[in-house]
């Protein structure tokens, strides 16, 4: 995969883009949407499910970031 600058993108960085950035953006949008609710007392089952999914996305992003840091430096 080539970047806009024409430089070849490393597979390691492609993994970071898909394994960390995408779940992090999804979780941020979900948490921002939940933040727009009036009060915590008016949460419905759908809102609780959205909160759980946002937590899962953050967990996936954290795991991907840790794997990026622990990966071999030679590639």
Give mean pLDDT, residues 41-62.
86
Return the higher-pLDDT residue of 9 and 59.
59
pTM: 0.66
Supply the range of the domain harboring residue 61.
Answer: 11-70
Looking at the domain assignment, is residue 19 inside a domain? yes
Do residues 63 and 43 touch, judged by C-beta distance below 8 A?
no
- Here the contacts of 54-58 (C-beta below 8 Å, separation 24 or greater) are 54/26, 54/27, 54/30, 55/27, 57/23, 57/24, 57/26, 57/27, 57/30, 58/23, 58/24, 58/27
Return the higher-pLDDT residue of 17 and 55.
55
Q: Tell me the pLDDT band of 12, cut-offs 50, 70 and 90.
A: low
Looking at the domain assignment, is residue 40 inside a domain? yes
Domain count of the chain? 1
Q: Tell me the pLDDT band of 56, cut-offs 50, 70 and 90.
A: very high
């Amino acid at each position: 995969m080539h970047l806009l600058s024409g430089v070849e993108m490393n597979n390691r960085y492609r993994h970071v883009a898909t394994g960390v950035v995408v779940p992090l953006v999804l979780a941020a949008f979900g948490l921002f949407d939940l933040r727009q609710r009036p009060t915590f007392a008016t949460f419905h089952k759908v809102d609780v499910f959205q909160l759980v999914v946002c937590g899962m996305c953050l967990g996936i992003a954290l795991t991907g970031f840790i794997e990026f840091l622990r990966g071999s430096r030679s590639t």
